[in-house]
Structure 1
Amino acid sequence: MKKSTLLLPIAFVAVIAVLSSVFIVDERQKALVLQFGRVIDVKEDPGLAFKIPLIQEVVRYDDRILSRDIDPLEVTPLDDRRLVVDAFARYRIADVRQFRQAVGVGGTRSAEDRLDRVIRAATREVLGSVSSNDILSSDRFALMLRIRNSAISEASNLGLEIIDVRLKRTDLPEQNLDATFSRMRAEREREAADEIARGEEAAQRVRAQADRTVVELVSDANRQSEIVRGEADAERNNIFAEAYGADQEFFEFYRSLSAYSRALQGRNSTMVLSPDSEFFNYLRQAERP
């Protein structure tokens, strides 16, 4: 009985000691085994690992690719046109031993603050060596690659590997927006005025050409109509001449009837003529028995 009573605490302590000496390394993590703050071992492979209870401790770090948004910073390109740049970086912890030595107990938060300073310095250096048009152009991949390459060496001293650096937004400072918008508006208004002037000039040319064409067409139509009218009059005169030559009396009678028809129109036509006028020759003949 006394043996059993003694063995139970010993077994319990042994189980606790075994459990305390075993730890699991996740496939998404890397682990450091520390003894009194000094790195004893690095566990990068997932699975079970062991440590000395109470004396050693385990610190885990994320082994995945991490993202870090950089606070917007103001840069001054070669043309002194200030810009506000918003960027982000993708990185991973490549060397956990060096990472622990560089950041100490501050961990990931301290590393990210130092990474921010590295990225900001590289961004100012690279973007300060080009013009604002190069920064604002759609092809900025080369600039982002230069920023990444410039920050790699500094980041490696922290045990970090920079995977990529991207420029999300590139804007003008707030105090420069109104002046820039006013200048852009003035340029667009000038371009619009030039387009309107060119349009009015083209319209005047088209209108003048149309007026000239109308005059030419009307003149040609009048000329053609006069020719046709002249030919018709000539044909009519020929017909009258032939008719006059065939029967002079009938021709005179026909011309008189035509004159009566044109002169005496309606029911209340009035004419003031001498009674012995030749105009009434055929009328007087009609009154005779």
Structure 2
Amino acid sequence: MRKTTYILPAIVIAVAIFLSSLFIVDEREKALVLQFGRVVSVKEDPGLAFKIPLIQEVARYDDRILSLDVDPLEVTPLDDRRLVVDAFARYRIADVNRFREATGASGDTSVRMASARLDSILRAQTREVLGSVTSDDILSSDRAALMVRIRDGAVGQAQALGLQVIDVRLKRTDLPTQNLEATFERMRAEREREATDERARGNEAAQRVRAQADRTVVELTSEAQREAEIIRGEADATRNGVFAEAFGQDEEFFEFYRSLNAYRAALRGENSSMVISPNGEFFDYLRSPTGGRPAPTPGAPRPEAEVQAEEAAELEAAQQALEATEQATETEEESDTAVDNEEVNEVEDAEEGVND
């Protein structure tokens, strides 16, 4: 009975000591076995592991990929245009032994301390890399190469902390708030200057086209007027020839006919007023059938047949003179119409050429 009393507690104590010597390493973590604060072994593989109870302890560290958001920082590229850059990084604990030596802690505390140290490293590398290029390079497609340079520069310093920097990305690149208005004003001024230059070039081209068009119009109009004067001169010559032929047949009748046309044109209106001497030549045929000419002297009576033949000849000559006069008038009107039509056609052709 006395042996049973001692055996049971011994078994319980032995089981407790055995269980306390076992610990499990999760697949998402790594572990250090410490003895009096000194690292005895490193457990990187997941599974069951052993330690000496009461003497050794286990420090666990996260083996997953961790994220770090770098606080926004202001950088000054080569062109002195200050930019506000926001970045983030992906990293993991690669060497837990060195990581413990660098941070002196374990768990979440060690991660916070390592993140603060890594943040300082990344900020310094970001300023160094972005300060060696222009703002256009930062905002262009070359920024991918710049991010690689930042990561490569931070890798060496992060290894001293037992960290592996996997990736660094620039999330946002903006102008400082105090510089936005000045930048917008500068951009607006540049666009206005470009617009003014474009308008000036357009006005210059328009002036050249307009001057060329005006010169073309003047040349075509002058040519049309010259040809019109030639045609008008030829028509006048034809008309004068017809008039001369008509005059030669019966001058007295032609003068009478012209006077009648003048009376018709002058006295056409009902309220026509004329300031002219009543004894002027204009009214000769109104005062006398012979137009102021002396009447023929009566001679010996001629035979009736001779008188009728002479009257018939005079009537025929008058009709021929009338037809010649009407033909001359029609010829003059046709020539004027042809000249006017040709001038209109020339001007229309000139306008079409200008529009083209």
TM-score (norm 1): 0.73
Root mean square deviation of aligned Cα: 4.0
Mapped to 1, the partners of 2:271 and 2:181 lie a distance apart of 86
Change (3 A) 1:283 1:210: farther
Q: 1:144 aligns with which of 143, 147, 155?
A: 147
Larger Rg: 2
Mapped to 2, the partners of 1:179 and 1:80 lie a distance apart of 14
Deviations 1:58-77 (A, max 9, x none): 6241423x332211223344
Please list, as runs of the form range in 1=range in 2, the aligned pairs for 1:40-119 lying within 5 A after superposition: 40-45=41-46, 48-52=47-51, 56-57=57-58, 59-64=60-65, 66-105=66-105, 106-119=109-122
Q: 1:220 aligns with which of 215, 218, 223?
A: 223
**How far does residue 154 in structure 1 lie from its aligned partner after superposition?**
0.9
Structure 2, unaligned runs of 5 or more: 291-356
Deviations 1:121-156 (A, max 9, x none): 222222333344443444223322222111111112
Please list, as runs of the form range in 1=range in 2, the aligned pairs for 1:1-289 lying within 5 A after superposition: 21=22, 23=24, 25-26=26-27, 29-36=28-35, 38=39, 40-45=41-46, 48-52=47-51, 56-57=57-58, 59-64=60-65, 66-105=66-105, 106-245=109-248, 248=251, 251-271=254-274, 272-274=276-278, 277=281, 279-281=283-285, 285=289
Mapped to 1, the partners of 2:255 and 2:235 lie a distance apart of 21
TM-score (norm 2): 0.61
Change (3 A) 1:246 1:67: farther
Deviations 1:161-183 (A, max 9, x none): 22222233334444444544444
Q: Secondary structure at the match of 1:130?
A: coil
Mapped to 1, the partners of 2:237 and 2:92 lie a distance apart of 108
Cα pair 1:22 1:51 within 8 Å, conserved:
yes
**How far does residue 267 in structure 1 lie from its aligned partner after superposition?**
2.4
Structure 1, unaligned runs of 5 or more: none
Q: Percent identity?
A: 59
Mapped to 1, the partners of 2:125 and 2:186 lie a distance apart of 32
Mapped to 1, the partners of 2:142 and 2:135 lie a distance apart of 13
Change (3 A) 1:130 1:278: closer
Q: Which amino acid aligns with 1:110?
A: M
Mapped to 2, the partners of 1:101 and 1:253 lie a distance apart of 140
Partner of 2:348: none
Q: Secondary structure at the match of 2:272?
A: coil
Mapped to 2, the partners of 1:90 and 1:59 lie a distance apart of 20
Mapped to 2, the partners of 1:250 and 1:91 lie a distance apart of 126
Q: Secondary structure at the match of 1:158?
A: coil
Aligned residue pairs total: 277
Deviations 1:93-148 (A, max 9, x none): 33334333333323221111111111112222223333444434442233222221
Q: Which amino acid aligns with 1:32?
A: A
